[in-house]
Chains A and B, each alone.
Chain A
Amino acid sequence: MEIRIAGFGGQGVILATQILGRAAAIHDGLHATMTQSFGPEARGGACSAQLIVSDEPVLYPYVTRADVLVAMSQEACTKFSPEVKPGGILIVEQDLVRMQQPPDGVSVFCLPATRMAEELGKRVVQNIVMLGFATAITGVVGEEALENAVLSAVPGHLADLNRKALAAGLEAGRTCLRNPSSGMETGAIPGLAAGVASARAPA
């Protein structure tokens, strides 16, 4: 499975991809290769990471046709959504991405991850919310593997907050899958119509 997570520097794009890779490579016994690209800026520049997950050793290290794109910024969505393959999955941060025309045959899921993270108390965990959401939808790694990977990547005093963020994202993803109209828009233009109810974290 070829996955790209993209956004701007400071959103935790690289860390989120690293956690997903660690979950796959260490906790789920899969092969995982992560690469990243970033601008010279420390924050605010375009930032993207790629993760190839497979049962077999990974040879080619880059995404050629993405199975999954997680776009956390408008620029990321515009730039990378054309590489998502038909039948692939596009996941967007709905408050930051306005999509005119989703690619053909791509399932689009959206989540206000940043808002949800703010409601949990800290905006920085939006990447973990998004990671939970994406994992519930794609099933790329197991939930237990993901939780282990998250907890080994964050400092101890933030473990609880991250656990909550992960649970919120996972729950939102599950809700989406159970009830497509709550957040999934296939071939439509999501995030535009006010009130497109995206899955929300339990308060």
Chain B
Amino acid sequence: MQADPRAVLTGVHFLNGDQACCEGALAAGARFAAGYPITPSTEIVERFSKRIPLVGGVFIQMEDELAASIAIQGAAWAGKKVFTVTSGPGFSLMMEHIGFAAMTETPCVFVNVQRGGPSTGLPTLPAQGDMMQARFGSHGDYPCIALSPDSPQECFRLMIRAMNLAEEFRTPVFLMMDEVVGHMTERVEIPAAESIEVTPRRLTEKAPEDYLPYETETSKIGGSLTPEMAIAGEGYKFHVTGLTHDERGYPSMTPETQHKLIHRLFAKIDTAKDRIIELEEDHTEEAEVVVISYGITMRVAERAIQMARTEGIATGKLRLITVWPLAEERIRELAGRVKAFVVPELNMGQVVLEVERVTGGRTRVIRVPHAGGTVHKPEQILEAIRRGAMTVQGAGA
């Protein structure tokens, strides 16, 4: 399905990441957003609130982030494509409803323009300190899809992708921006609507009396593990609950139902992870050191990579455009070949923990932590690359 031309601002623009993210949401078909504006994400909903009346849709400024994160889910069940935006303090407040979205399989996108934390931290300055919160923030076990853009152009593209993935897998999807990318202004090219692929809602074609809201093709080989939706108010009667539920959507609090449901929630992402995971690689094949990072930090690291190459160190780049699910297989493959991974992040070490786990001691992993407030100096990352290159192979970490 193609984007609705009325909502697509085709042309070349000079936009910041927040504004580009909003345009991505509109192009992807988002027609409802609720939010409690917070720096540095405010420009997204500021723009949406101006643009949406012209396109046809609703923005509600809610009383807080709890309300915003559940209002979008009500709208999703009423048939709208939805998202909300926030930053760290609001993201913390949304955790309960993120779990609700995962459990009820409500398609929705959470944009987090990360700033320095914990608590209110650094409202106008960057960090990437919420990466593990996106993965594990709500209680219970649920899978996670999180994307990390490194430019306004990519904010546009990945917001569309996030909205599409949310619809395809009926799961909350996280667009994990940061203050630099959100407030950075660059050229953004918005293509014609007909070249923007948009995933439609998985609506049921069954009659109301035959419809079971959580029925899937689990038993069929190659069948979809994602159930079909109906639109509330169109004659379908269904029950949506955060309690463990059966195919009818009714609470069924038995170990068997729990087992079946949770395994399916994981399987629907796990079986499709090759499609979900998007990476950008450069010179990884012949590298002795590979820098693994995401978002703005990868751009800064790229300067360090260039410097390392001029010093004669074969340095590769592995950018996690999809951070969760983690590209475990690719990292494992590279781990067998390179002397070291260098993992800079604007946090004290989050995604690097997973890289260490996946690597399993087979190659050295060098952390380049940063408390946030600004980006790394390329020299800090260069120094880590140099250390990595001096690793005696086989010595492990």
Interface membership of chain A positions 155-168, coded 1 if the CB is closer than 8 angstroms to chain B and 0 otherwise: 00000000000000
Are A26's CB and B184's CB within 8 A? no
Are B14's CB and A61's CB within 8 A? no
Are A61's CB and B375's CB within 8 A? yes
A26-B14, A61-B180 given; A31·B375 CB < 8 A: no
Are A26's CB and B303's CB within 8 A? no
Residue A84, interface by CB 8 Å = no
Point out the residues of chain A lying under 8 angstroms from B300, CB to CB.
59-60
Within 8 Å by CB of B186, from A32, A36, A59, A62, lies A32
Query: Given A21-B185, A32-B14, A38-B124, 4 more contacts at CB 8 Å?
Result: A26-B13, A31-B187, A33-B184, A58-B186
Measured CB to CB, the closest approach of chain B to A63, in angstroms, equals 12
- Size bracket, chain B contacts: 10 to 19
Point out the residues of chain B lying under 8 angstroms from A16, CB to CB.
none
Residue A179, interface by CB 8 Å = no
Give me 12 A-to-B residue pairs in the complex whose CB atoms sit less than 8 angstroms apart, sorted by A's number: A21-B186, A22-B14, A26-B12, A26-B14, A31-B187, A32-B187, A34-B14, A59-B302, A59-B303, A59-B306, A60-B299, A61-B296
Point out the residues of chain A lying under 8 angstroms from B302, CB to CB.
59
Bound-state Cα–Cα, A6 to B228, Å: 54
Point out the residues of chain A lying under 8 angstroms from B185, CB to CB.
18, 21, 33-36
Measured CB to CB, the closest approach of chain B to A45, in angstroms, equals 12
Q: How many A-B residue pairs have CB under 8 A?
A: 51
Are A60's CB and B14's CB within 8 A? no
Within 8 Å by CB of A35, from B183, B299, B303, lies B183
Bound-state Cα–Cα, A18 to B152, Å: 14
Residue B378, interface by CB 8 Å = yes
Closest-by-CB residue of A relative to B13 is A26
Point out the residues of chain A lying under 8 angstroms from B374, CB to CB.
62
Bound-state Cα–Cα, A36 to B180, Å: 9
Bound-state Cα–Cα, A18 to B19, Å: 14
- Seen from chain A, the residues whose Cβ lies within 8 Å of a Cβ on chain B are 18, 21-22, 25-26, 31-38, 58-62
Bound-state Cα–Cα, A25 to B13, Å: 9
Interface membership of chain B positions 149-172, coded 1 if the CB is closer than 8 angstroms to chain A and 0 otherwise: 000000000000000000000000
Q: What's the dominant secondary structure at chain A's contact region? A: mixed
Measured CB to CB, the closest approach of chain A to B384, in angstroms, equals 17
Measured CB to CB, the closest approach of chain A to B9, in angstroms, equals 14
Are B299's CB and A25's CB within 8 A? no
Are A61's CB and B187's CB within 8 A? no
Interface residues of B in 356-397 (CB under 8 A from A): 374-375, 378
Closest-by-CB residue of A relative to B296 is A61
Measured CB to CB, the closest approach of chain B to A23, in angstroms, equals 9
Measured CB to CB, the closest approach of chain A to B393, in angstroms, equals 29
Closest-by-CB residue of B relative to A153 is B14
Are B187's CB and A25's CB within 8 A? yes
A21-B14, A25-B14, A26-B12 given; A61·B184 CB < 8 A: yes
Closest-by-CB residue of B relative to A17 is B185
Bound-state Cα–Cα, A62 to B183, Å: 12
Point out the residues of chain A lying under 8 angstroms from B303, CB to CB.
59-60
Measured CB to CB, the closest approach of chain B to A114, in angstroms, equals 25
Q: Which 7 A-B pairs have the closest CB atoms?
A: A25-B187, A34-B185, A22-B14, A59-B303, A59-B302, A59-B299, A60-B303
Are B124's CB and A37's CB within 8 A? yes
Are A34's CB and B378's CB within 8 A? no
Are A33's CB and B14's CB within 8 A? no
Bound-state Cα–Cα, A76 to B303, Å: 28
